[in-house]
Structure 1
């Protein structure tokens, strides 16, 4: 076992000379063997070893005695020791988590604190090859994501250093033999035999059956895990490039949007990972009930021929297709439809609910017409002017159009997202004739007049609207 672990450490570049290594020690065979192995081979790399042990307060007196056992052993071996007691039951209730998840979160929080306090380079954990098999099998039964099927990583960044698992190349049986050969005593956690826990069920009922067919399965699974990690790392980097190039992320409004055509030109494997990167960005912590069914719904949304469509993800995340774009957002005041009606004095200024500004000014000559400005002779319209949102039956006409057209149909023709239509600003006169569907169409005043005073109206977009 000793030489295979040395080779494994060298292969994965796990240790640097002169490094400080924290070793997570529970008192069980795996972690005690790891502590012994690293401490008694510390001169090979010039390591400084510190043992870290935690009482999760889940097994009463037994878990407290585990910590004391580790402390006594460290004192005997001359190893620096750090411990703490975690309030897992209270944290579990506060966060609404399962026992295992709550314990893991608190444990890694403490590990991170100690990494920083002791300026450690590595946190070594005693996971072995059988743990890897169990993890891969559980992933297969719990998740449809290929990302989740990568297993326990040999090495990963953590709190300014690295988590390493030197024993992933060994089995539980190897470790028990090592403990016997070196006279290492350890404690046994009786909850490890309770098959109500999923991992224990796999360990007791499935692992022995698999090993009957291939006693070296831990090596096969470890190779699969490592190659999956390498493949996944490559695909993740490519997906990150797609997100950087194609996805607009709005951190203030917690939104994301992208153009569908450009996104769909990417390989499906990269589209899927880009979706997960977007969801990680928006959620922070992914909801437990987020599943492959949401992923399927997302890809169906990209393929639908409907100009406007929407699907709902957990925690009120909305994924909305508006013609050539997809928008991810959480509904709040900035995404609600505003209805308003305001008088626009000349000269004057109106601030709309979305932060856009409408400015009117007088002019003694005909003003230039631009996309975001509108000029009209004061004698051609009924004053005062008004800015309002659409009403049922709204229609307008413009130069070159025979008759009039519904505002609803103009929005469809211009591919305006449904979510923006009810709050779109419209300039009308006092007779409610539509003069300007702002940014889209300019109407024809009912009377012709060139002399006299002119009015210029300008639109300036707010932070949440672009016309």
Structure 2
């Protein structure tokens, strides 16, 4: 019985402990409705507290609104609180230069993290199942991935602000449909699931049927088995990597690695140790390409002093036989830049960024993550009153009032909460108007500089990362 299988999965992977609050992601589709009712069926026995989370992507007009209404009604019938959001995913994807799927994932994760923090939820549960796992592995394989990527999604993932659990990951979609139909549960059909605009739909509708008819009728089961084996292998390798990393540390400098110890490792071990080390040094691995990782491996085996650029003026350098992560430049940060409140475009090599400013009207709801790029903000033109803007590093004691907050926050606290490591803080631009901070790159606009209406004049400023070769070279401290 599917209920007992899901309960066993939750217990095996310790996804939910007795008495915990869990936020359940519910789109209104069959998978998420099955997840909601399965967890609700187990909640009384295990004393769980559930709440619903729904994000309206605004991709299907009135149908999207109807989905949100349906989810809200589903929560009401079960006596559960519902946290409902609307975000213009298509415009967010366009302004950030990412796919619709990526934009939706970023916004979902950010909003879910905020709700979990607000209600004290231990995790958010998504309705991914075994068939989703097959599609994920194929998409990663097509893009190019390492061993960890071939393992697909995990039952439990821990991010800086959010824990994600997937209680249905071992279940086939057909079994979920049987459960929903047997219990006469209603669900919503999403027409976008048939659209070839989304890569996942093309894998489901075109690639998998060809693999099943031409290569292996049980290809889905084979891929799921492979992902399980790979995750087990990766778990063993992760343990080995931790021991190798400890052996490569410089006892005189905990943040540094001994070049001589690294150079004796097999290239595969070396690559994994470097990735783990960069993670521990708070380097965002999503910005580290395969080519960059190979250059780092080459750096390990090179003689003399050298360095490899990462991003945001971060570099890995060899200093005295040690590999260290450094920030090029002086500790006080790059020189301030004066901006006129009008259309412009400029490169800021000392910041490692390019800036585009444009005049328009209204505002967009944007995904926010301090210090991540592309980053954009909409400022009220009337609030600027023709005054110049100053792009500068943060200063001790800096405070501002982010949109939606009643009081001000210290930038130092903002950086700590966003897990921005100390060496990067002086590289995150602060946009000031006079002595008032209007924006911290990647964060929310300040309350006093918000655009008051969709037809109000606005100044949009966007920051994009420069390619490493266009960044300013390191200068002496």
- After TM superposition, the score normalised by the length of structure 2 is 0.61
- Provide the residue aligned with 1:213 in structure 2: 218
- Which digits, 9 at most, give the CA deviation of each residue in 1:402-427, with x for residues without a partner? xxxxxxxxxxxxxxxxxxxxxxxxxx
- Provide the residue aligned with 1:43 in structure 2: 44
Question: How many pairs align?
Answer: 330
- Of 235, 243, 247, 1:238 maps to 243
* C-alpha RMSD over aligned residues: 3.3
Aligned equivalents of 2:154 and 2:52: distance in 1? 21
- Provide the residue aligned with 2:263 in structure 1: 264
- The CA deviation at 1:334 is 7.2
- Provide the residue aligned with 1:307 in structure 2: 304
Asked if 1 retains the 8 angstrom alpha-carbon contact of 2:248 and 2:262, the reply is: no
Aligned equivalents of 1:73 and 1:318: distance in 2? 50
Aligned equivalents of 1:214 and 1:102: distance in 2? 30
- After TM superposition, the score normalised by the length of structure 1 is 0.62
Matches within 5 A, 1:75-86: 75-86=76-87
- Summarize the Cα distance change of 1:152–1:182 in structure 2 as closer, same or farther, 3 Å threshold: same
- The CA deviation at 1:270 is 3.7
**Structure with higher RCO (Cα < 8 A, 6+ apart):** 2
Residue 274 (str. 1) matches residue 279 (str. 2): no
- Which digits, 9 at most, give the CA deviation of each residue in 1:269-295, with x for residues without a partner? 44212322344466743455x322222
Aligned equivalents of 1:111 and 1:334: distance in 2? 35
- Which digits, 9 at most, give the CA deviation of each residue in 1:149-190, with x for residues without a partner? 331110133577742211111111111121111111111222
Gaps of 5+ in 2: 333-475
Asked if 1 retains the 8 angstrom alpha-carbon contact of 2:133 and 2:224, the reply is: no
Residue 332 (str. 1) matches residue 333 (str. 2): no
- The CA deviation at 1:40 is 2.1
Aligned equivalents of 1:313 and 1:82: distance in 2? 38
- Which digits, 9 at most, give the CA deviation of each residue in 1:238-269, with x for residues without a partner? 355356546947xxxxxx75432122234544
Tell which structure's C-alpha radius of gyration is larger.
1
| SS class of match (1:127) | coil
- The CA deviation at 1:195 is 2.6
Asked if 2 retains the 8 angstrom alpha-carbon contact of 1:246 and 1:259, the reply is: no
Aligned equivalents of 2:229 and 2:252: distance in 1? 32
Asked if 2 retains the 8 angstrom alpha-carbon contact of 1:57 and 1:85, the reply is: yes
Aligned equivalents of 2:252 and 2:141: distance in 1? 31
Aligned equivalents of 1:182 and 1:274: distance in 2? 49
Matches within 5 A, 1:52-67: 52-67=53-68
| SS class of match (1:82) | strand
Gaps of 5+ in 1: 250-255, 336-463
- The CA deviation at 1:118 is 1.4
- Summarize the Cα distance change of 1:65–1:225 in structure 2 as closer, same or farther, 3 Å threshold: farther
Asked if 1 retains the 8 angstrom alpha-carbon contact of 2:150 and 2:227, the reply is: no
